[in-house]
Amino acid sequence: MVKTAHSKPSLLPTSPYRQRGMSFIGFVLIFALVALFGLVLMRVFPAQMDAWAVKKILASMSVSEEVKSGTVKDIRDSFDRRAMVDNVNSIKGSDLEISKENNEVIVAAIWQQRVPLFANYTLLIDFNMSTSDK
């Protein structure tokens, strides 16, 4: 209760600026948005970890003599061995696109990964990496 100058107590505050803080509904909405963002982040993170591992594999393959002078099968086998060590399951050596440009072997990994979010909502992520990326 707020007392006014006339000594009659009033149930209303004297100024609307006096109220501070977040309402319960506002708190619930903010919590729901943070929870949704956290859920999406937790579901997408493993796919991004695979992408970072593939990028690391391709970077190490770009300086490897096995890749520079090997056959297509050798390059695919090399990728499979490295992917097994890094626990990459989203792409295999057979999915790689291998080409030669300016006497340099280019190994490209292009794949899509579906990430189930909740109920019937799925997130589709496209990945595109190659040994020519710097």
Per-residue model confidence (pLDDT) at position 70:
84
Report the relative pairing of strands 2-3 and 9-10 from DSSP bridges.
antiparallel
* Nearest 10 degrees: Cα torsion 59, 126, 32, 120: -140
The yes-or-no verdict on residue 2 having pLDDT over 60 is no
DSSP per residue, 106-134: EEEEEEEEEEEEETTEEEEEEEEEETT--
Q: What is the pLDDT of residue 3?
A: 56
pLDDT of residue 10: 57
Q: What is the mean pLDDT of residues 88-101?
A: 92
In angstroms, the CA 76 to CA 98 distance is 9
pLDDT digits (tens, 9 = 90+) for 3-50: 555 555 556 556 666 667 778 898 999 999 999 999 999 999 999 999
What pLDDT sits at residue 15? 63
Q: What is the dihedral of CA 13, 17, 19, 22, to 10 degrees?
A: 150
- Residue 21 β-bridge partners: none
Residue 93: pLDDT band (50, 70, 90) is very high
